[in-house]
């Protein structure tokens, strides 16, 4: 783990210097993924389609993408459903990249990006018709606080869509701490969400495995993003059978 960057700002700085992350990673994750998405996550295009349906938002609505990274998955979903987007992320580097990358999604997309925390987005109460959060809930220091924040920014009747991972066996000490005790559905129910549905997406994990194996199998390279992926693969591959990939949908009561 010592080779991993210490902060997401560092990771995003590395990504800006990485041809491998920009060009090789997306088609390894999913050959159908539109180039402009440039995800910093492991959700294939079928997953983005699922998120687009699950947010239940259309033209005139606002999707808030919490921990949006460089904004691609959120902009893809907002463009797909014809909604506006507000992305929030703790990394100033990611927010700047997301803002720069807006043009890649065409002039019709109303998208803005702000710096904020998972637990303190800075957004107004009830502003969001839907909230999405891709591959980031596990990084929360306090999951209850984050769940309450997501609930607060949603309008009554609004939908939440999360993607995450959880240990198959609760408390499994062989998996990374951030997944060991995490039960996303429980956290959401405990903090006012209803209609909570947690489903496993093993096919997404096959894609993640393919990325890791390709990274480890690639030849000698100076690319810093490939080095980052190899380091992650070295830890993650051994844990994958003990972890389940989850898509979670929930609602704020009307
Ligand atoms: C794996 S990346 C996913 C980014 C984006 N959702 C995507 O799919 O490309 C995790 C993101 O969570 C953000 N993040 C982690 N902890 C955070 C926190 N406490 N507050 C806000 N953002 C956070 C990171 O900056 C990073 O952009």
pLDDT tens track for 194-230? 999 999 999 999 999 999 999 999 999 999 999 999 9
Cβ–Cβ under 8 Å, residues 228 and 19 = no
Residue 52: the pLDDT is 98
In this structure, the number of other CB atoms found within 10 A of the CB of residue 116 comes to 20
Residue 5: the pLDDT is 80
d(CA 199, CA 146): 21
Does residue 3 lie within any of the structural domains?
A: no
In this structure, the number of other CB atoms found within 10 A of the CB of residue 206 comes to 12
Does residue 1 lie within any of the structural domains?
A: no
Give the residue among 11, 41, 9, 6 at the shortest CA–CA distance from 162. Answer: 41
Residue 118 CA, closest ligand 1 atom number: 20
> What are the residue ranges of helices labelled H in 85-169?
92-101, 143-153
Residue 2: the pLDDT is 42
Give the residue among 46, 51, 81 at the shortest CA–CA distance from 66. Answer: 51
Residue 198 CA to ligand 1 centre (angstroms): 21
Q: Which domain holds residue 23?
A: 8-250
**Sites in the chain below the pLDDT cut of 50:** 1-2
* Residue owning tokens 């596990």: 138
d(CA 213, CA 231): 12
Q: What is the CATH number of the domain that holds 169?
A: 3.40.50.150
| Residue minimizing CA distance to atom 8 of ligand 1 | 41
Strand, coil or helix: 75: helix
Does residue 182 lie within any of the structural domains?
A: yes
Length, in residues, of the chain: 254
> Which residues neighbour 238 within 8 Å (Cβ) at sequence distance 6 or greater?
none
In this structure, the number of other CB atoms found within 10 A of the CB of residue 58 comes to 10
What global pTM score does this model have? 0.97
Residue 4: the pLDDT is 66
Q: Tell me the backbone φ, ψ of residue 154, rounded to 5 degrees.
A: -80, 145
| Residue minimizing CA distance to atom 13 of ligand 1 | 67
Domain count within the chain: 1
Residue 216 CA to ligand 1 centre (angstroms): 24
**Arithmetic mean of pLDDT over the chain:** 96
């Amino acid at each position: 783990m010592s080779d991993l960057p210490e902060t997401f700002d560092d990771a995003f700085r590395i990504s800006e210097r990485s041809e491998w992350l920009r060009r090789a990673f997306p088609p390894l994750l999913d050959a159908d993924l539109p180039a402009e998405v440039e995800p910093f996550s492991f959700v294939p295009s079928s997953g983005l389609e699922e998120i687009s349906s699950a947010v239940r938002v259309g033209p005139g609505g606002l999707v808030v993408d919490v921990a949006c990274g460089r904004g691609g998955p959120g902009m893809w979903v907002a463009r797909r459903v014809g909604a506006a987007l507000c992305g929030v992320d703790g990394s100033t580097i990611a927010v700047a990249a997301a803002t720069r990358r807006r043009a890649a999604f065409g002039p019709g997309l109303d998208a803005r990006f702000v710096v904020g925390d998972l637990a303190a987005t800075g957004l107004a109460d009830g502003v969001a018709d839907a909230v999405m959060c891709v591959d980031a809930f596990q990084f929360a220091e306090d999951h209850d606080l984050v769940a309450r924040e997501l609930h607060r920014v949603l309008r009554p009747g609004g939908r939440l869509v999360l993607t995450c991972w959880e240990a198959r066996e609760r408390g499994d000490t062989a998996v990374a701490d951030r997944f060991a005790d995490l039960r996303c559905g429980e956290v959401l129910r405990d903090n006012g969400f209803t209609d909570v549905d947690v489903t496993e997406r093993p096919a997404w994990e096959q894609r993640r495995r393919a990325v890791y194996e390709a990274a480890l199998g690639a030849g000698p390279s100076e690319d810093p993003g490939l080095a980052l992926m190899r380091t992650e693969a070295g830890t993650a591959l051994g844990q994958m059978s003990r972890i389940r990939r989850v898509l979670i949908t929930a609602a704020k009561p009307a």
